[in-house]
């Protein structure tokens, strides 16, 4: 724990960071997948154990702040290539925050020797003194429910956006 759903929920909760024009369901879905993606290193857990070499083990380099920044840079470059972002800086901040939250939340997990947040620049694993995420209840209260509230109340207004800039999202240019 936290689960992939909990990590992806951060993408919904953090969506107000995005500039309104850039805040689309597609981007938030993408960010949610990116937030959960560091756990693909679970294969390293099978091969090396929970706290093996940082390049291969679970909660190693894929959970680091450096990978979050690199992932956000790649994401912004691809989005900018696909469609013009109104605020690449805010989109970068959003993606970096969402991806980096994965490692930060894992620091509060109930098992393991910590997270290599500073890899590849430093090898130590960091963990919080509190084991907050021990079972589903805490993550449901802290992450699932807030994300659900954001979706139901459409906080940020992303539910009504499909991904392509619409006429409604363009600044009005009335002559009056």
Binding residues for Zn ion, per CB under 5 A? 39, 106
Q: Which is nearer to Zn ion, 88 or 112 (CB)?
A: 112
Q: What is the DSSP letter of 141?
A: I
Q: Which is nearer to Zn ion, 4 or 87 (CB)?
A: 4
Rounded to a whole number of angstroms, the minimum distance from the CB of residue 140 to Zn ion is 18
Place of tokens 């920044």: 69
Rounded to a whole number of angstroms, the minimum distance from the CB of residue 144 to Zn ion is 17
Rounded to a whole number of angstroms, the minimum distance from the CB of residue 46 to Zn ion is 15
Rounded to a whole number of angstroms, the minimum distance from the CB of residue 22 to Zn ion is 27
Give dist(CA 138, CA 130) in Å, integer. 12
Nearest Cα to 121, choosing from 72, 71, 67? 67
Q: Which is nearer to Zn ion, 44 or 75 (CB)?
A: 44
For every residue of 60-115, DSSP letters joined together read: SGGGSHHHHHHHHHHHHHHHHHHS--S-HHHHHHHHHHHHHHHHHHHTTBSSSS-B
Rounded to a whole number of angstroms, the minimum distance from the CB of residue 62 to Zn ion is 8
Give dist(CA 151, CA 123) in Å, integer. 38
Tell whether omega for the bond before 2 is within 30 degrees of 0, i.e. cis: yes
Q: Which is nearer to Zn ion, 18 or 72 (CB)?
A: 72
Q: Which is nearer to Zn ion, 39 or 139 (CB)?
A: 39
């Amino acid at each position: 724990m936290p689960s992939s759903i909990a990590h992806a929920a951060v993408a919904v909760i953090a969506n107000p960071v995005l500039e309104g024009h850039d805040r689309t369901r597609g981007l938030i879905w993408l960010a949610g997948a990116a937030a959960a993606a560091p756990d693909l290193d679970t294969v390293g857990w099978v091969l090396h154990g929970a706290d093996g070499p940082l390049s291969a083990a679970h909660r190693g380099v894929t959970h680091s702040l450096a990978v979050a920044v690199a992932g956000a840079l790649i994401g912004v470059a691809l989005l900018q290539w696909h469609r013009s972002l109104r605020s690449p800086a805010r989109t970068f901040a959003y993606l970096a925050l969402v991806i980096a939250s994965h490692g930060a939340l894992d620091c509060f997990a109930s098992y393991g020797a910590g997270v290599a947040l500073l890899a590849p620049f430093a090898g130590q694993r960091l963990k919080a003194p509190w084991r907050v995420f021990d079972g589903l209840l805490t993550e449901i209260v802290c992450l699932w429910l807030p994300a659900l509230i954001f979706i139901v109340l459409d906080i940020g207004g992303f539910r009504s956006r499909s991904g392509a800039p619409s006429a409604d999202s363009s600044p009005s240019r009335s002559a009056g």
